[in-house]
Amino acid sequence: MSSVTGVSATDELPGPDGRPPLSADAASTGRVGDRIFGGAATLSGVVVIVLVSLIAVFLIVQAIPALADNSANFFTSREWAPGGEEPRFGILEFLWTTVTASTLAMLISVPVGVGVALFITQYAPAWMRRPAAALVDLLAAVPSIVYGLWGLITFSPFFKPVQGFMEDRLGWFPLFSPTGISGGTIFFIGIVLAIMVLPIVTALSREVFDQTPLAHKEGALALGATKWEMIRTAVLPFGRPGVISASMLALGRALGETIAVTFLVSALADGSPWTWSLFNGGETFASKIANNAAEFSNPSKTGAYIAAGLVLFVLTFIVNSIARVVIERRKAFTE
């Protein structure tokens, strides 16, 4: 366990002795105590499998009838009118908003997070390292509902003029064209999400950078490299897989963030024109579900939202899997 974010970096590090843990199967004696204890361990694992299977079954069972009734294309439609005689719903808008806002969050938090990690591990004076690390971890101790309140009440009024300025000066660029949405834009959500996931990126990267073999660093320095060149040639290449997996885990968190986004987001009216602008509104999967969960009154309507939830589930899972694969490859590489 490496940080308050609940994300672990040790995953990608070999054991202290550089060897995988020993298989102790052969040591089992088959005594009663062993059978009970081993049984309990196996049972717990099976419970986890059962739980996840139940969730998957629940999602699929609820989603399928609604999807079967859907008269719009689920993946390409921007309409959202579930329930009723002829339900029409598609996830394109949520998919766009969710992915764009999260990507934006990554574009901000990864460079800054890596910079902070490098600062803590390479640049900060020794006395400052622990306090600096603790401060960044403090960001992770702030519950997401508080980020939501802060974003809504304090940050949003501050950000509005910034957005206005960007719309004025950069409006010619499709990504920044004005849309008439006053606040709670994709851009704004992206920034808040970036702040929320920053400690995840930092905590993990910090640990990986700390593991850079001394020989690599000293080697670089001995060849006359400046500190930055040493970082670029020794620390960053060593830490790259760790940074990638950290980013993926952070991305997973950003995709599924619920309550803060619900507070902040500006929903679009039906039939709003499509635009590439980041200053457009639009709900994410999680905020759409959370905002309407109280009104799930019948199976067909619920099913539509669950289907959207299923897409989010798959999306998050893909991202987590990529992180996993990167970690595994890194392990194979170091071993």
Output the smallest distance, CB 326 to other proteins, in A: 13
Among 99, 313, 329, 331, binds other proteins (CB under 8 A): 313
User: Binding of other proteins at residue 79 (CB under 8 A)?
Assistant: no
CB-based contacts of 279, cutoff 8 Å, min separation 6: 163, 166, 167, 176, 177, 178, 179, 181, 185, 186, 187
Q: What residue ranges in 84-221 does DSSP mark as E strands? A: 88-89
Among 60, 107, 138, 162, binds other proteins (CB under 8 A): 138
User: Binding of other proteins at residue 247 (CB under 8 A)?
Assistant: no
CB-based contacts of 144, cutoff 8 Å, min separation 6: 196, 257, 258, 259, 260
Output the smallest distance, CB 107 to other proteins, in A: 14
Question: Applying CB under 8 A, which part among 70-78, 89-97, 162-170, 316-324 lies near other proteins?
Answer: 316-324
User: Binding of other proteins at residue 51 (CB under 8 A)?
Assistant: yes
**How far is it, in rounded angstroms, from Cα 30 to Cα 90?**
55
Q: Tell me the two tokens of residue 126.
A: 């020794």
CB-based contacts of 229, cutoff 8 Å, min separation 6: 220
Q: Which of residues 256-285 bind other proteins (CB under 8 A)?
A: 256, 258-259, 262-263, 265-270, 272, 281, 283, 285
Kind and range of the H or E element at 81? strand 80-81
Among 77, 233, 275, 300, binds other proteins (CB under 8 A): 300
3-class secondary-structure state, position 185: coil
User: Binding of other proteins at residue 18 (CB under 8 A)?
Assistant: no
State which residue, 79 or 92, has the beta carbon closest to other proteins: 79
Question: Applying CB under 8 A, which part among 99-107, 108-116, 166-174, 237-245 lies near other proteins?
Answer: 108-116
**How far is it, in rounded angstroms, from Cα 121 to Cα 210?**
6
Q: Tell me the two tokens of residue 100.
A: 């764009």
Asked if residues 308 and 68 have their Cβ atoms less than 8 Å apart, the reply is no
User: Binding of other proteins at residue 214 (CB under 8 A)?
Assistant: yes
Output the smallest distance, CB 4 to other proteins, in A: 6
Output the smallest distance, CB 184 to other proteins, in A: 7
Asked if residues 247 and 270 have their Cβ atoms less than 8 Å apart, the reply is no
Output the smallest distance, CB 276 to other proteins, in A: 18
Output the smallest distance, CB 172 to other proteins, in A: 20
